Amino acid sequence: MTFRVACVGAGYFSQFHYDAWARIDGATVVGACDLDLARATATGAPAFDDLDQMLTGTAPDLLDIILPPPAHAETIRAALAAGIKWIICQKPFCLDLDEARVITGEARAAGAHLVVHENFRFQPWYRTMKAALEAGTIGEVQNATFRLRPGDGQGPNAYLDRQPYFQTMPRFLIHETGVHWVDTFRYLFGPVTHVYADLRTLNPAIAGEDAGFVIFDHASGVRALFDGNRHLDHVANNLRCTMGEAWIEGTEGTLTLFGDGMVTRRPFGKPNPDVLLMEPETPVGFGGDCVHALQAHVIAAMNGAPLENEASDYLTVLEIKDAIYASAKAGQKRAVSGVV
């Protein structure tokens, strides 16, 4: 079965969405909407500058929302009013947790599946690491570290060539970027019980924080560290491939993620690691083609497969994000209820 997909938004990151839809069996893009009709036209799909007209004219099975948070709630409501039962919405999801709760409830009441486009957990290196953890290949996991080092945050022109609104976001490092690892850590290590954060702003040209540490306590006993600094780099041909490096340490070995996407497992007490995943020779898409993986996952769910990343579950990610900011403000560890 082929599903009709309409997309709203044609900004910088949308290129990865449109490219992925073009490569997914069982999906065809029937419309692209943007206030700038020229940008919508450039996608190659039938172009619109009015959302209601697109929804009425194309009758999509799925709406892919590729817009910033201020537009999320209004756009989701338009989709629900049009009777659309499958909606994907980019992150950060909605303006805040309260708005996300309300809109999630409205989608549930309408019988619609609302999925957050949180794609990092779909990156092949994290899927590989998850499989290794589930197989018990490094024993009892105790520590995990991810060091964010995209090297794009220095100077007065930071982010202006790609996503200039980054400079004016009052919450930046965690709200826009670190939230990927809030979700990924939950995916890898299970529920979060407490967080402790120390955040700072290094570049005076931006409004929000661009560096900091966040410690996650997981119910599984794992303690994970997110160490983010957008000024610094790491070893990679493409700094935006993994955006950093990671280590997951257990009693029987260590998993390591390198900057070009390679994953290794080094047995405890041994010097030489085994390669679990090689870096791709010819990278496709963004971040290991995770946009394609997520969107293909949703199409599979429309055909009856299990579904990840529903908004009702993602509310916990937003609660953890808020606890991180509260911890940084108070200088204290904060509990996470997980009940949203």
pLDDT tens digit string along 190-200? 999 999 999 99
Query: What is the CB-side half-sphere exposure of residue 48 using CA atoms within 13 A?
Result: 18
Calculate helix-pair angle for 72-81, 51-58, nearest 10 degrees.
Answer: 30
Are residues 143 and 273 both part of a single domain? yes
Could you tell me the residue range of the domain that residue 84 belongs to? 3-117
Q: Which residues of the chain have pLDDT under 50?
A: none
Q: In what order do the strands lie in the sheet with 274-277?
A: 274-277, 263-267, 253-257, 244-250, 141-148, 223-229, 211-218, 192-200, 334-335
In the structure encoding, which two tokens stand for residue 244, read together?
């950093």
Are residues 240 and 322 both part of a single domain? yes
- Is residue 209 in a domain? yes
- Is residue 47 in a domain? yes
Q: What is the pLDDT of residue 340?
A: 60
For strand 62-65 and strand 3-8, is the pairing parallel, antiparallel, or unpaired? Answer: parallel
- Is residue 299 in a domain? no
Contact 255, 129 (CB under 8 A): yes
CA distance 229 to 61: 40
User: Which of 117, 133, 155 lies at the terminal end of a domain, its last residue?
Assistant: 117
Are residues 138 and 176 both part of a single domain? yes
Are residues 146 and 65 both part of a single domain? no
Contact 199, 222 (CB under 8 A): no
Are residues 213 and 126 both part of a single domain? yes
Are residues 185 and 324 both part of a single domain? yes
Are residues 103 and 125 both part of a single domain? no
Are residues 96 and 224 both part of a single domain? no
pTM of the model: 0.95
Radius of gyration of the chain (CA): 20
What CATH code is carried by the domain that includes residue 160? 3.30.360.10
Q: Which helix (H) or strand (E) holds 7?
A: strand 3-8
Per the structure, how many domains does the chain have? Answer: 2
Contacts of 188 (CB under 8 A, 6+ apart): 126, 129, 130, 133, 144, 248
Are residues 190 and 250 both part of a single domain? yes
Helices (H), 115-196: 124-134, 179-189
In angstroms, the Cα distances linking 328 to 92, 182, 303, 322 are 19, 15, 43, 10
Q: What is the pLDDT of residue 1?
A: 87
- Is residue 88 in a domain? yes
User: Which of 66, 89, 117 lies at the terminal end of a domain, its last residue?
Assistant: 117
